[in-house]
Amino acid sequence: MGKVSLEGIEFHAFHGVFSEEKKLGNRFTVDLHVYTDFEKAMRTDDLKYTVDYFKLYQIAKAHMQVPVKLLEHLGHLMIEDILKAYPESTQIEVVIKKHNPALGGVVNFSVVEVAYPRDYQ
């Protein structure tokens, strides 16, 4: 068993509830962690037996381009597509950070963490 991760993927996107967020957008950082059995990949040096970083990036990128109101929903959508691509995954964690959320004060990030199987349906 092991974990394949992409950390610190950055996007400019238009997610949020407020009209300013939908117009101006914001900077987001996404971390993806996929737990799976990649023993066969370790032994064979064959990409088809593990999680492909490029596919993970493409999933995140596709979802970041389609605005949603809630980061919780965004994380859920990413997990659904990761599970479609890698149904053998035993656990998936998606962390989404919105940089400098407009809250009327200094805040570095608002953060949402969504995980499968915990708290996921």
On the question of pLDDT at 119 being above 60, the answer is no
What would the mean pLDDT of 28-53 be, rounded to a whole number? 97
pLDDT at 27: 97
In the block, residue with structure tokens 């570095």: 108
Average pLDDT, the chain: 94
pLDDT at 9: 98
Q: Which fold has domain 2-116?
A: GTP Cyclohydrolase I, domain 2 (3.30.1130)
pLDDT at 120: 53
On the question of pLDDT at 121 being above 70, the answer is no
pLDDT in tens, 51-75: 999 999 999 999 999 999 999 999 9
pLDDT at 92: 98
Where are the chain's structural domains?
2-116
Phi and psi of 37, rounded to 5°?
A: -90, 105
On the question of pLDDT at 18 being above 80, the answer is yes
Catalytic residues: 98
pLDDT at 68: 97
Contact 5, 31 (CB under 8 A): yes
On the question of pLDDT at 33 being above 70, the answer is yes
Spell out the residues 6+ positions from residue 1 whose beta carbon is closer than 8 angstroms to its own: 35, 36, 37, 90
Query: What does pTM read for this prediction?
Result: 0.93
Contact 67, 22 (CB under 8 A): yes
